[in-house]
Structure 1
């Protein structure tokens, strides 16, 4: 959930001072974008993977502080809960053998972390929602010991002035109240980053919005929460409801939320998202960074408290030139390293292909339809029907085979990605579609057909994960 801060308590002056700096930095970013003074570097890829620490009984193990201190890996960091960690990549040019490079990075980082967990009599698991998680695990004693999280909890609950209410209607119905932000830590994802040349950044952002429906269905790996079978990708409603707070005053319960699909496409520039951040969303973490306006410290911190499923980010090239990245947040974590890289391949290719179409012919799908497609896909997975850019309704599983996979191939080719890697990684996506087995389908089938025991299912899931075979080939007994 972003960078650490120096304080967890604030007064009115802190908010006023922060907002003034936020205004200045947003204005400067707007000027740089208008003057074409952001990076024009060709696309660069990267990722963040969130994972679970579990004990021998497959229950959450709140040990991330000691785990990270003794792992001593700069690519690993803490998440909101003491039983979550995050593993990061070094950025790689999105061309050539990029997929193999990302694969080797993730495999090495994952294996090191896994061996270290075992040395602590624990395991790490990549899965969208841990099936053995209980609501009682999500308490403030299990919050990572960081000012950022303490402050977020206080500010979000203050802005809501009432408990967090969860109401998710899927195969079963879950309703409950919770009294802190720890519910968010029940969701773990595989976040894909793409740095883009300024001239195409907002088009790629829009393309990512359109690509989100097939991505969330294809990568679904979170069907269960607290023993209830909900959506194919239950992370989506859970995260949205866990931090359900909106804009200023009367808008706090309005249509714009801090976790959302967004309010629309970026019509002319990516600055529109940062302008919306400034104008609509109150500051949550008003930490005064004693830094130059050009560092965008306040803008970046504020942006880190607004979680669109596709989120623009500001970073810097090695020479200090500011750049724009798009963070695609829809894929769940897991089920395996190779599945994660196959998911990345499909996303980079499909988004690039749609981006090229947008540049040539304009936006091909109304935003409202892209949004509806996304929630249909999160709810019903590969079986859902969506309205595609031809204006017709399609079963998503069929559309993936007939059109979306060929689009992803075309997009990766246009980026100059190795043909052998395209065949290898998108071949896994093709197999997943043909076998109709992603992480969510595997979990549902296990519980329905074999053993309604979430501990045993998680153990079998972890065994399969450790074998390293793609989820499309998983059996129910490893």
Structure 2
């Protein structure tokens, strides 16, 4: 969830001071981009996974503090809800077995964490939305203890001036309200990071936007919320609504949402940071002591603390990230749109598909985004989330096409080419991209598997069926066999 902040109240003077400081940050960032003060040699990739916690019968376990104490690993951190934790996987280069290194490290860490957290009655499960969440779990009392979360919730509710309303229509309909941003905690994701130079950033971000709808279609894994069957990737509308600072009147006026696909192709990473500052008031107007201009003139790397914190409260599905490692600044695209799970093997297949495809498209001589409108990419995004493996999307030169057909005929060869450019060996490419291929051929994603099992249990009370299916799902997760191979 970003940088920690201390509990505090903000005055009008704080907001004025912050606005001035964040604009200064933006000026210094522009200067840094012009002077190429960035780590661009041999770029890294990264991975984060968010987990839900359940008890022995499959209900949410509100024990993340106890689970983290038991796990005792700094790679695991709190997340928004007491039924969430997050794991950061050390960054790596893809060549020389990098994807397998990610996979083996993630499996080891998950198995060790599960063994330890089970001792406090909390079991880890990777799924986009915990299906057994009930209305009683979505109250402010289930926020994690980190003061950042309560402060962020308070600021969003104050900006709205009213409770958060959730309205999602899929196979069934859901209408409810919440008095905090805790519904956001229902959304657990896998996040892929790809480091890039300032010159290449726009191409990688645009490419990430182009493929977002197809990513969702072949990886959907959150079909149930509060007992209702909704979208195949219900996380998308849920997150868009749960973190919306706009009242109905501001929506009608066209004010942009903080959970945002965007509205245009970009030519520079600066476009995104500048939009964030121009369009969105600060939720956490914390001011750091550093003078970024002085730091830059002295040869130090500015932290740009205000710009980074503000950027962390604008929830783009493909987010720009400025960070510092080993006293060197770098940029990366954070691809945040996929659900966690179902297995580590499935996550790594999703990673291979993303890393390969985004590189192939970013390095194409004729950019795909020059051949399609931005609104078409956004429509694909929501179609992929709503319909999952059955989605139809628009693609230049093809028109409307089944997402599975597009993947099998066009995108998998591109992903192979991109992974080859990263230095990924043939066997590793074929194993992981073969999982994506088989999902398309069988029509089975995490969402489809879960819905199928639930439909077999129609005679059961809904939440009993959800608990039983979730326990079946968790058993499958621990086999690390891709979801398309599970018994249906």
TM-score (norm 2): 0.94
Residue 146 of structure 2: aligned partner:
146
Superposed, 1:66-465 pairs within 5 Å as: 66-245=66-245, 254-266=254-266, 268-293=267-292, 294-318=302-326, 320-357=327-364, 363-450=370-457, 452=460, 453-465=465-477
Take 1:240 and 1:253, find their aligned partners in 2: how far apart are those partners?
17
Superposed, 1:16-35 pairs within 5 Å as: 16-35=16-35
Partner of 2:257, secondary structure, is coil
1:208 to partner: Cα distance: 0.2
Please give the per-residue CA displacement for 1:159-216, whole angstroms capped at 9, x wherever unaligned: 1111211111111111112221111011100011111122211110000000101111
Residue 466 of structure 1: aligned partner:
478
Partner of 2:220, secondary structure, is coil
1:135 to partner: Cα distance: 1.6
Take 2:335 and 2:198, find their aligned partners in 1: how far apart are those partners?
17
1:292 to partner: Cα distance: 4.4
- 8 Å contact 2:222–2:232 — kept in the other structure? yes
Take 1:473 and 1:271, find their aligned partners in 2: how far apart are those partners?
44
1:383 to partner: Cα distance: 1.0
Take 1:38 and 1:397, find their aligned partners in 2: how far apart are those partners?
38
Please give the per-residue CA displacement for 1:440-463, whole angstroms capped at 9, x wherever unaligned: 000110011245510100110111
- 8 Å contact 1:353–1:410 — kept in the other structure? yes
1:146 to partner: Cα distance: 1.4
Partner of 2:112, secondary structure, is helix
The range that moved more, 256-265 or 343-352, is 256-265
Unaligned runs of 5+ in 1: none
Partner of 2:364, secondary structure, is helix
Aligned length: 473
- 8 Å contact 2:128–2:341 — kept in the other structure? yes
Partner of 1:3, secondary structure, is coil
1:358 to partner: Cα distance: 5.8
Residue 53 of structure 1: aligned partner:
53
Please give the per-residue CA displacement for 1:372-411, whole angstroms capped at 9, x wherever unaligned: 0110111011211111021511111111111111111111
Mark the CA change 1:66 to 1:428 in structure 2 (over 3 Å): closer, same or farther: same
The range that moved more, 355-364 or 429-438, is 355-364
Take 1:345 and 1:420, find their aligned partners in 2: how far apart are those partners?
12
- 8 Å contact 2:404–2:440 — kept in the other structure? yes
Take 1:422 and 1:50, find their aligned partners in 2: how far apart are those partners?
25
1:2 to partner: Cα distance: 1.1
Mark the CA change 1:246 to 1:310 in structure 2 (over 3 Å): closer, same or farther: farther
- 8 Å contact 2:189–2:336 — kept in the other structure? yes
Take 2:116 and 2:430, find their aligned partners in 1: how far apart are those partners?
34
Please give the per-residue CA displacement for 1:105-147, whole angstroms capped at 9, x wherever unaligned: 2112111111112122321100001111102101111111112
Unaligned runs of 5+ in 2: 293-301
- 8 Å contact 1:246–1:254 — kept in the other structure? no
- 8 Å contact 1:8–1:148 — kept in the other structure? no
Partner of 1:329, secondary structure, is strand
Mark the CA change 1:360 to 1:384 in structure 2 (over 3 Å): closer, same or farther: closer
Take 2:457 and 2:141, find their aligned partners in 1: how far apart are those partners?
35
1:287 to partner: Cα distance: 1.6
